[in-house]
A and B are shown apart, each in its own frame.
Chain A
Amino acid sequence: MSVNADQVRHVAKLARIAMSDAEVEAMVPEFNNILGWVEQLGEVDTDGVEPLTAVIDNHLRLRNDVVNDGDCRDAVLKNAPDAQHGFFAVPKVIE
């Protein structure tokens, strides 16, 4: 499979990365180079092979359903580029 500029633009949109036309054009061959290289996995017979889900066997732990964190609003907001009235502030979403 290979991608064209429109597809790269679409991926950039999904990834929320603004890209100029020049950047998109430059990425097309790089993208195809990498995709062409990883496609050698097609040579491997994986019929009946389960995809790996946990690299080292482990069990999912459960904890008691009680509050064990919180009351640290100021610490949470401390690094925000814009915090107002105890909230993260962002550009207007709804006009």
Chain B
Amino acid sequence: MGELNIKTIAQLRDGFRAGEFSAREIAEEFNAAVEAGRALNVYTVETPENALAAADAADQARQSSDLKPLSGIPLGIKDLFATEGVDSTSGSNILKGFKPPYESTVSGKLKAAGAGMLGKLNMDEFAMGSSNETSAYGPVISPWKRNDGSNAALTPGGSSGGSSAAVAAGMAPGVTGTDTGGSIRQPAAFTGITGIKPTYGRCSRWGIVAFASSLDQAGPMARDVRDCAILLENMCGFDPKDATSLDLPVPQWEAGLSSDLKGKKVGIPVEYRIDGVPEEIDALWDKGVEWLRDAGAEPVKISLPHTKYALPTYYIIAPAEASSNLARYDGVRYGLRESPEGGNLDAMYAATRSAGFGAEVKRRIMIGTYVLSAGFYDAYFTKAQKVRTLIKRDFAQAFGECDFILTPTAPSAAFGLNEKMSDPLAMYLNDVFAVPASLAGLPAMSVPGGLDSQGLPLGLHLIGRELDEQGILNAALAIEERAGFTHRAEKWW
């Protein structure tokens, strides 16, 4: 057999249905790829038996013509999702050993649709990071290398770094990610894969460990646009257990795919051309505009005047929400407990949180606590929420003139491990293009555009109107067809 692990989900699904191979063969090949790729530190837990059980169920379902949408497809699940009976730790020491007695809505929907689980994917601790280096399990190593022979270990991006590396290395055909301020899109761009964050509220947040509740959204990462559409259809949907879940039908995004963009206008925001971005990223952006024009879309210049304030706004709101959400890790109900000899309850809280959280998580909890504290709340938090209103208004006005927006996904290609860890602000700047859409709750996705001069993937970023996932999937498909991105990381692991 062989090579099943570099097929797309659509190819696996259709080949399995046509009887070219069995679900068991698919699962066995991916299980073997997961095991062979341990040097990349992609999975925190491997669950080969789960993938095989789902595969056997799929093979039986094929015999009785009782197939589900994802029958035969094994997936990787980001460690942020609660999975029943399987360690779910959000990349943190404070949740080590936590085995949820329940399943997150999104992973449960994927399993109900027939998918198997290959394992849990490494990530930045509580999804706070852009390089996967804050994980308590250590960083994920990208399968990609620079072409200069330096052999430097690169980041697969973050926070969904295990997710992006798994797809790029053929250790899963598709995965779940979550995106609070770019955590699906930036890693997708860094590893030459495709990822979409839907409109806020499309995917239930129930059972996903909360980072910043007004921003967190789950979404799929996969090899191409069609696979993202397939997975997204099986992740979205109303959930009464999430107060911000949207009570709307789930569109048939795969059936709706069309790269004919006639009559569409693509907005090019002038504020996204910023200093310090390599010329080849701006050049790829220009190429993306031409690809969309070739597909029938008309480019129009737009303005999003508050763009430069998006990151500082985000770094008030996200830590504020995180400081509140992470208050629950207190050593009482689950995870780690540190009890100083003779110490009282308060001492137990403080010691547990000091031992269990990593440096970046502590930093954000501290910033969040400060901006919410008496005397500073209005100056920081309320101010940020007002600027957020203006950022959202910018997009609403821009969408009066265009149907979707094209920008680069990230201001650089993948960087080396340890290159940015000492400077939090430099790390935060990675998400400069991704964060505005998060603050506005809009659907956004990254699609590979090409390689830079170092041989590393670069992504193009599409932002859509509220609930118009189809619009950006179609534009991404038009780019995918024209970019002809077939590069893969050469196997060295």
Instruction: State the A residues within 8 Å of B (CB).
Output: 1, 3, 8, 11-19, 27, 30-31, 33-35, 37-44, 46, 49-56, 58, 60-61, 63, 72, 75-76, 78-82, 88, 90-93
Residue of A42, A72, A91 with most partner-chain B CB within 10 A: A91
Min CB–CB distance B331 → chain A (angstroms): 6
A19 lies within 8 A of B334 (CB):
no
Cβ contacts under 8 Å, A8 to chain B: 366
A51 lies within 8 A of B382 (CB):
yes
Instruction: State the B residues within 8 Å of A (CB).
Output: 97-102, 199-201, 214-215, 240, 243-244, 246-247, 306, 309, 312-313, 315-316, 323, 327, 330-337, 339, 343-351, 353-354, 357, 362-363, 365-367, 369-370, 373, 376, 379-380, 382-390, 392, 424-425, 439-441, 466
B312 lies within 8 A of A30 (CB):
no
Cβ contacts under 8 Å, B373 to chain A: 11, 14
Min CB–CB distance B383 → chain A (angstroms): 5
A52 lies within 8 A of B385 (CB):
yes
B344 lies within 8 A of A34 (CB):
no
Cβ contacts under 8 Å, B333 to chain A: 76, 79-80, 88
Can you give 30 contacting A-B residue pairs, CB < 8 Å? A1-B376, A11-B373, A15-B366, A16-B349, A17-B357, A18-B353, A18-B354, A31-B363, A31-B366, A34-B315, A34-B367, A37-B425, A38-B312, A40-B309, A41-B312, A41-B316, A41-B384, A44-B387, A50-B389, A51-B382, A51-B385, A52-B386, A55-B215, A78-B99, A79-B334, A81-B331, A81-B337, A90-B345, A91-B339, A93-B345
B309 lies within 8 A of A56 (CB):
no
B366 lies within 8 A of A80 (CB):
no
Cβ contacts under 8 Å, B100 to chain A: 79
**Residue from B98, B240, B316, B343 in contact with A79 in the complex, judged by beta carbons closer than 8 Å:** B98
A91 lies within 8 A of B348 (CB):
yes
Q: How far is the CA of A88 from the CA of B331 in the complex (A)?
A: 10
Q: How far is the CA of A18 from the CA of B366 in the complex (A)?
A: 12
A60 lies within 8 A of B199 (CB):
no
A81 lies within 8 A of B335 (CB):
yes
Min CB–CB distance A93 → chain B (angstroms): 5
Cβ contacts under 8 Å, A63 to chain B: 240
**Residue from B244, B330, B380 in contact with A38 in the complex, judged by beta carbons closer than 8 Å:** B380
B332 lies within 8 A of A90 (CB):
yes
A34-B425, A44-B309 given; 8 more Cβ-contact pairs under 8 Å? A17-B362, A18-B347, A19-B354, A27-B363, A44-B386, A58-B244, A79-B333, A82-B337
The closest CB in chain A to the CB of B355 belongs to A18
Cβ contacts under 8 Å, B335 to chain A: 79, 81
The closest CB in chain A to the CB of B339 belongs to A91
B389 lies within 8 A of A55 (CB):
no
B425 lies within 8 A of A17 (CB):
no
The closest CB in chain B to the CB of A15 belongs to B369
Cβ contacts under 8 Å, A34 to chain B: 315, 363, 367, 424-425
A31 lies within 8 A of B367 (CB):
yes
A52 lies within 8 A of B389 (CB):
yes
Q: How far is the CA of A46 from the CA of B385 in the complex (A)?
A: 10
* Pairs A-B, 7 closest by C-beta atoms: A51-B385, A55-B441, A81-B337, A79-B334, A18-B354, A46-B386, A18-B350
